[in-house]
Amino acid sequence: MKPIFLSVMTVLAGLTLALAVQAQQPAPQQAASRFDVTNYRIEAQIIPDEHMLRAGADVTFVPLDATRSVVFELNGSLKVESIEMAGKALTGFVQDAVGVGSLGPSVRIDLGQVIPANQPVTLRIRWSGALVSPEGGPLATRRLAYVGNEGSYLMYASRWFPFHDYAADRATSDITFIVPSGLQVAGTSDDPVVAQPSPKEGAVRYRFVHRQPVLIGNFAAGQYINRNLRYSNYDLQLYAMPGSEKRLEAFAELTGRVLEFYTKQYGKPLFGNRLVVVQIDDESLDTYSGPGIIFLSSKMFDTSRPVPEEKIQREIAYQWWGQTVGLKSFDDAWLSQGLAEWSAFAFRETTLSAGGLDGAQREQQERALTFEQTASIARAPSALDDQSAAYQSIVYYKGSMVFRMLRETMGRENFDRLLKTFLDTYRAKNASIDDFEKLAAKVSQQNLRYFFAQWVEGTGVPEFTVDYQIIRTRSGKFRTRGTVKQNLEALHMPVELLLRAEGDNQQKIVRIETRSEDFDFESNGQPLEVVVDPNNKILRMSEDLRVSIIARRGIEQMKEGIYAEAQQQFEAALKLDRSNSWVYYNLGLLFLEQRNWQQALDNLEASLIGNLKPAWIEVWAHIKRGNAYDAKGERQRAVLEYNKAVQSGIDYDNAQAVAKKYLATPYDPKAGQTAEATTPGN
């Protein structure tokens, strides 16, 4: 399957290492397809009653080499009806509705003559087809284009119009969208969007114009409730289906704060000051971004769930990394997906309490390590399916951690300047990882080849050990001298060390240039231990992280319903650490999913007896035990567990409201209550 460069945390496929490495390798494009699309003039009509899209376009492109043929990608559910060039019909075109290798469904066009390089060509293409299921699109189980009475949407990644060089070839556009009367169309435009009724057609025409090149073609149409709100310098246009509008204010408030933060940190986004947020159905992705527009699935509007803050923070970040700055090729996806994940984390750094931040840092590190050995960041786009757990672990989470480590290596001031300079230098342009490395070296005034070779192009992470001795000085103080060691050839990184001492914790940074570095602490209190990287700033391995990584693989398998394999992962983790409350908790959730109530109760009880790390285990284990007792019909025991959850006072992930909800109304597994079915924080 061709990578679709989606900015999402969606249903994960290919969860195990064995499955992840089986993703198809991209096939090189033929020389005939080397061209640059410069402009689209499209007229598209949707007929919801028939699930039908009818469209025509004048596509202007410039060949980069002399060529007689070009290849456009096009959704396999759509059929090309005719192609013209200079008013003459072209009959030598072949449409492949299935696709081969990385190209996907496409149409190859014989131009009838050799076109010289750099000579603009305009083709008039007409096509139509029914858009109902994922068939013909890039994902097997999620549709990115749909036309129907419940609501319609067309995403760039669906290939609903003929395009070339996915995620890289930007173009200007003039698109007229025709919909039945009574429907609104959500989209982006450099000009104000005006709806022009067409009584003869019983339809309304909307026109969307982009005068600067972007990744075009993102629209939604339906009977929306529209709210236009202003936050700081941004106009937010929000579209919700009837009954879902209650969440719009919460989305607007969060979106406004995040936009303000990113603007201050990086600079202005390419879309200007108008951002569209639109609701679509749950048969598509949870979230998806186009230039100046964000699609959110209906489940994101469910007010019984917490606002999906992390997903929205990440999705907004794509307006900077992926839209304002583009990619030279999909192999450079780290610059968009890793930076988007990093930006969302940087925003959370400013909002989380100390305990919450520690948990978020640890969680990011675990996710980054889960499939770390599968492929390097640079190789993952070509080696892995971009919807697999392995790909997202490497490019999203390891990618984010690598940006965090680059910040520590360069220094915060230099790193902040790097991102602002990167945005300014490549605004409305495409950049590669090589471009980013050169700019980082220029801004920091140091050779960073070692960093990119280790963390972007390579695999493997360090494991630290410390040896030290404690000496009592004549003045009554304590001297802790030792050596921190690591197993990589040359790490070249600043590493934080924390001395835990009785009433006198101390912290310092040592620069590791080889396999070891000496340190020296002086403290008033009795030293207890020396901790390497106490704030989880470095992608590294340790005994406790090994346990967490195994368990995280089980969590991903559980999300996909691969229960037997998930159970094996959790049990393997417990063999390494029998006191791990987090693993027992997830094993309890697994049995809840399988409606094995007693096994769920036993493992949730074990989680309460264990080390109670993280601290939220206490409240959520009681809630889940209450769910299990309710499912068994033992209401009194369920109420006791919910009350214990309330008495804990812990409100992680809206726990108190959830416990009180179940005190008022028993949990009913037959009613499909899944709002709290997953582990908080996962």
For 576-671, CATH gives 1.25.40.10
Q: What does the DSSP 8-state code read for residue 470?
A: E
The number of angstroms, rounded, from the C-alpha of 91 to the middle of its chain's C-alpha atoms is 42
Those residues whose C-beta lies under 8 Å from the C-beta of residue 102, and which sit 6 or more positions away, are 2, 3, 24, 25, 26, 27
C-beta atoms surrounding 267 within 10 Å: 16
Q: What pLDDT, on the 0 to 100 scale, is given for residue 652?
A: 83
Q: Which CATH architecture has domain 35-317?
A: Sandwich (2.60)
d(CA 69, CA 67): 6
Q: Nearest-CA neighbor of 191 among 173, 179, 203?
A: 173
- Alpha carbon distances (Å) from 67 to 60, 85, 112, 200: 15, 15, 10, 43
The number of angstroms, rounded, from the C-alpha of 405 to the middle of its chain's C-alpha atoms is 19
Pick the CATH number of 330-455 from 3.40.50.300, 1.10.390.10, 1.10.275.10, 1.10.150.120: 1.10.390.10
Q: In the structure encoding, which two tokens stand for residue 562, read together?
A: 């691969």
- For the chain, the structural domain boundaries read 35-317, 330-455, 464-532, 576-671
- Which residue shows structure tokens 């948990």? 359
Q: What pLDDT, on the 0 to 100 scale, is given for residue 491?
A: 82
d(CA 145, CA 77): 10
CB 9 within 8 A of CB 314: yes
Query: What are the start-end ranges of the E strands in 181-258?
Result: 184-186, 195-198, 203-214, 219-222, 225-231, 234-240
CB 36 within 8 A of CB 96: no
Angle between helices 354-369 and 339-349 (to 10 degrees): 160
Q: What pLDDT, on the 0 to 100 scale, is given for residue 3?
A: 46
Q: What does the DSSP 8-state code read for residue 336?
A: I
Phi, psi of 293, rounded to the nearest 5 degrees = -145, 140
Q: What pLDDT, on the 0 to 100 scale, is given for residue 17?
A: 35
CB 43 within 8 A of CB 176: yes
Q: What pLDDT, on the 0 to 100 scale, is given for residue 553?
A: 87
**614 upstream amide cis, omega within 30 of 0:** yes
d(CA 334, CA 392): 10
CB 105 within 8 A of CB 159: yes
Query: What are the start-end ranges of the E strands in 487-533?
Result: 493-501, 506-512, 516-523, 527-532
**What would the pLDDT profile of 622-665 be if each residue is shown by its tens digit?**
999 999 999 999 999 999 999 999 999 998 878 999 999 999 99
- Alpha carbon distances (Å) from 676 to 556, 608, 672: 16, 19, 11
3-state secondary structure of 436: helix
d(CA 354, CA 107): 55
Q: Which helix (H) or strand (E) holds 419?
A: helix 412-425
CB 330 within 8 A of CB 166: yes
| Three-state SS letters, 537-595 | CCCCECHHHHHHHHHHHHHHHHHCCCHHHHHHHHHHHHHHCCCCHHHHHHHHHHHHHCC
Q: What pLDDT, on the 0 to 100 scale, is given for residue 557?
A: 85
Q: What pLDDT, on the 0 to 100 scale, is given for residue 101?
A: 58
Those residues whose C-beta lies under 8 Å from the C-beta of residue 655, and which sit 6 or more positions away, are 616, 619, 620, 623, 645, 680
CB 537 within 8 A of CB 496: yes
Residue ranges of the chain with pLDDT lower than 70?
1-33, 100-102, 354-355, 672-682
Torsion 536-538-543-545 (CA) sign:
positive
How far the first Cα of the chain sits from its last, in Å, is 27
CB 111 within 8 A of CB 67: yes
CB 322 within 8 A of CB 292: no
